[in-house]
Chains A and B, each alone.
Chain A
Amino acid sequence: MNSKSPSSALPGVPGLVAVFTGLFAIAVFIIDTVTPLDIAVAVLYVVVVLLAAQYFSRRNVLIVALGCMALTLLSYALTHEPEIDEAAGRCLVSIAAIGATTFLALKNQSANVVLSEQARLLDLTHDTVFVRDMNDVITYWNSGAEQLYGWSRYDAIGRVTRQLLKTVFPTPLQEITAELLRTGRWEGELVHTKRDGNTVTVSSRWSLRQDERGQPIGTLETNNDITEGKRSQDALDRAQTELAHINRVVTLGELTASIAHEVNQPLTGIVTSSGACLRLLDHGSLDLTELREALQSIINDAMRASEVVQRIRALSKKTDPQKAALDVSDIISDAIRLLQRELSDHHASVHLELTPTLPQVIGDRIQLQQVMINLVMNGLEAMADVIERPRRIVIRSSQTEPDRVLVEIQDAGRGVEPQNLDRLFNAFFSTKPNGMGMGLSICRSIVQAHGGKIWASSNPDGGTTFRLTLLCAVDAHG
């Protein structure tokens, strides 16, 4: 399994070392015993212990060390009388040296074992782990990284990370580095390019490694492949965007009368004003002030018609949501303008109670307009068979929490059964005979995607009130 780890890169080494160590020990023993040198030849057993410590287990190292000590004593016994002399001192020095070496070698070995155990654990995890120094050069690369990216550790170590992986950062790298240096951590989503050219989205966690003096020496980066999750989330988002678009197109279809009216009003103004001008010119009875006023109103009407067309186009276009700071009052009045004819056809009226000084909210103009249109249309349909009281929709805006704007849309309709109030927002749930059950469900998914909430409650005097909250845009001092 660890065939690539340096300690066992050559499988035959331990065997050879064992033989060599044995031969070396015998050689030391012979020299120590046979030659009449008055030096501590036995100190050379230290080499034997060190060699053993490099390749043998802890137990075997101890055996080797004890063996060396025994050989030292044996050699002394064979060549000297047992008395306190220089030779005995040399023997003791040798034994002490072997003992000390063994102790240090074993301690060092256990530290190495811990390190390689850790490395093995890092290899066992599916997470991608690598270490890079302050110059972004890779110094460690685990097998998870090898599997994810396709580069082996020999390919990767020594390369610059962001060049190798073509990293796409969510925010400028300087900001990320600043946060890392300040807090010692960073988390975020990165897009990397694998060896095969495919991209992968990872949830990345960085932790800064520092030396004893607190100087940053490198970064440990742990990456989790979230491409699949991201892909399904993206697919879900796309499906919701499409559904919202279909809902808008269907709604626009229902609003053709209103839209035609919205366009035809200014066109009527243009045609009649220009016709009038031509006639007055023919009579020679048009004064210049009057002409200027007429032309100005023709221009205004033309601009108005084109604005309507733009608004309709925007509503019918399929675009990804674009968040911006918006005025709730603008959104509401834009929606109402499109519904003017619908309201008069239903003999209904809208009463606005908007708070003028609300903070802006963050959101997609089109989608929020769609929510308002859906809710007002919903209210209109709820009041379709009401005859005993005015068909009135009241729209209120207010700020109930410091960071939220509340919008209320209250109808005077037949109301909703209490047990259905929560189910209203479920897809395909409808209390109307020909309702698709999509409008309110789309409202909810849009509001939730904006970080807000939507709920319905019954009015004490009949009808239903829909309430929704939207997050305020963060202003400069907020």
Chain B
Amino acid sequence: MTMATEHQKSLVLVIDDDPSVRNGLTLLFRSVGFETRAFGSAQEFLQSTLPDVPSCLVLDVRLPGQSGLDFQAELVTRIPIIFMTGHGDIPMTVRAMKGGAVDFLAKPFRDQDMLDAVATAIERDRKRRASEKILSDLRALFETLSPRECEVMALVSSGLMNKQIAAELNLAEITVKIHRGRIMKKMHARSVADLVKMAEALGVRRTNQK
């Protein structure tokens, strides 16, 4: 039941030039509650606007006119891809996996294998989206810091004590303390360790500042 509701918020995208493969997959994904959108070609896919929900792409490695692998390389969004092939060959598999494919299924595949692969891919996309969300939230918070606070945050996260920071920036120790308190508050950091992690995630470094 929880699965079903989760699925409703996720989307499986199918690209295959063969209508019977598209229809079969659409019905299969519907049977476990995934929303599905099917496309006959990569062009068709690129021209469509898609909802911003966890999703994955199921596509034939040999798309007509353009290979699925080239398409994978061109895709801007890092959407997880499950490749299908009629005649699996090793170099293609290697390229697909290096390009970040979740799975590689030889047609005809067992329906359970496909469903497992799709579940994994959707989960991966959900996590990716979640971490991207955290990061963008963090970035928004970081934007609220003043330039001076950014400098202090970089020095704090590099492990310097207030006294050292004060010496570094030619400030009174009390001023550093005030900045620090403000930073903790603005960034919603519960501890210094938390702030250090955030600085790492944001790529805030001492050398980068100034």
Chain A residues with a Cβ under 8 A of chain B: 256-257, 260-262, 264-273, 275-277, 279-280, 283, 290, 294, 297, 300-301, 304, 340-341, 343-345, 347, 349
Q: Tell me whether B27 and A276 are in contact (CB under 8 A).
A: yes
Chain A residues, Cβ within 8 Å of B66: 347
**For window 60-84 of chain B, which residues contact chain A by CB distance below 8 Å?**
62-67, 84
Q: Tell me whether B27 and A267 are in contact (CB under 8 A).
A: no
5 tightest Cβ-Cβ pairs between the two chains A and B: A275-B111, A272-B24, A269-B20, A261-B86, A279-B31
Bound-state Cα–Cα, A266 to B112, Å: 18
A-B contacts, 29 listed (Cβ < 8 Å): A261-B87, A262-B86, A265-B86, A266-B20, A267-B107, A268-B84, A268-B108, A269-B18, A269-B20, A270-B24, A271-B24, A271-B109, A271-B111, A272-B28, A273-B24, A275-B28, A275-B111, A276-B27, A276-B28, A277-B31, A279-B31, A294-B27, A297-B24, A301-B24, A341-B86, A343-B64, A344-B64, A347-B66, A347-B67
Q: Tell me whether A344 and B28 are in contact (CB under 8 A).
A: no
Bound-state Cα–Cα, A290 to B27, Å: 9
Minimum CB–CB distance for B19 against chain A, Å: 8
Chain A residues, Cβ within 8 Å of B27: 272-273, 276-277, 280, 290, 294
Bound-state Cα–Cα, A301 to B21, Å: 9
Q: How large is the interface on B (under 10, 10 to 19, 20 to 34, 35 or more residues)?
A: 20 to 34
Q: In this complex, what residue of B is CB-closest to A281?
A: B31
Bound-state Cα–Cα, A341 to B17, Å: 12
> Beyond A265-B20, A267-B108, A272-B21, is A260–B86 a contact (Cβ under 8 Å)?
yes
Query: How many residue pairs bridge A and B at CB < 8 Å?
Result: 100
Known: A260-B87, A300-B20. 16 other contacts (CB 8 A): A256-B87, A262-B86, A268-B107, A269-B23, A270-B24, A272-B28, A272-B111, A272-B114, A273-B23, A276-B30, A280-B27, A297-B24, A340-B64, A347-B65, A347-B67, A349-B65
Q: In this complex, what residue of B is CB-closest to A272?
A: B24
Q: Tell me whether B110 and A271 are in contact (CB under 8 A).
A: yes
Minimum CB–CB distance for A259 against chain B, Å: 9
Q: Tell me whether B31 and A269 are in contact (CB under 8 A).
A: no
| Residue from A262, A276, A294 with most neighbouring chain B CB atoms (10 Å) | A276
Tell me whether B141 is interfacial, beta carbon within 8 Å: no
Tell me whether B25 is interfacial, beta carbon within 8 Å: yes
Chain B residues, Cβ within 8 Å of A269: 18, 20-21, 23-24
Q: In this complex, what residue of A is CB-closest to B62?
A: A344
Chain B residues, Cβ within 8 Å of A294: 27
Chain B residues, Cβ within 8 Å of A279: 28, 31-32, 111
Chain B residues with a Cβ under 8 A of chain A: 18, 20-21, 23-25, 27-28, 30-32, 62-67, 84, 86-87, 106-112, 114
Q: In this complex, what residue of A is CB-closest to B32?
A: A279
Bound-state Cα–Cα, A181 to B67, Å: 70
Bound-state Cα–Cα, A268 to B64, Å: 18
Chain B residues, Cβ within 8 Å of A340: 64
Q: Tell me whether B67 and A268 are in contact (CB under 8 A).
A: no
Chain B residues, Cβ within 8 Å of A283: 31
Minimum CB–CB distance for B59 against chain A, Å: 13
Minimum CB–CB distance for A295 against chain B, Å: 11
Bound-state Cα–Cα, A412 to B27, Å: 41
Chain A residues, Cβ within 8 Å of B30: 276, 280
Chain B residues, Cβ within 8 Å of A347: 65-67
Q: Tell me whether B87 and A344 are in contact (CB under 8 A).
A: no
Bound-state Cα–Cα, A455 to B84, Å: 41
Q: Tell me whether A264 and B31 are in contact (CB under 8 A).
A: no
> Beyond A276-B31, A279-B32, is A345–B20 a contact (Cβ under 8 Å)?
no
> Beyond A272-B111, A275-B111, A280-B31, is A264–B24 a contact (Cβ under 8 Å)?
no
Q: Tell me whether A268 and B87 are in contact (CB under 8 A).
A: no
Minimum CB–CB distance for A283 against chain B, Å: 7
Chain A residues, Cβ within 8 Å of B18: 265, 269
Bound-state Cα–Cα, A344 to B70, Å: 12
Chain A residues, Cβ within 8 Å of B31: 275-277, 279-280, 283
Bound-state Cα–Cα, A260 to B18, Å: 14
Minimum CB–CB distance for B101 against chain A, Å: 18
Q: Tell me whether B32 and A344 are in contact (CB under 8 A).
A: no
Chain A residues, Cβ within 8 Å of B21: 265, 268-269, 272
Q: Tell me whether B65 and A261 are in contact (CB under 8 A).
A: no
Q: Tell me whether A297 and B23 are in contact (CB under 8 A).
A: yes
> Beyond A268-B107, A279-B32, is A344–B63 a contact (Cβ under 8 Å)?
yes
Chain B residues, Cβ within 8 Å of A265: 18, 20-21, 86, 107
Q: Tell me whether A271 and B108 are in contact (CB under 8 A).
A: yes
Q: Tell me whether A264 and B63 are in contact (CB under 8 A).
A: no
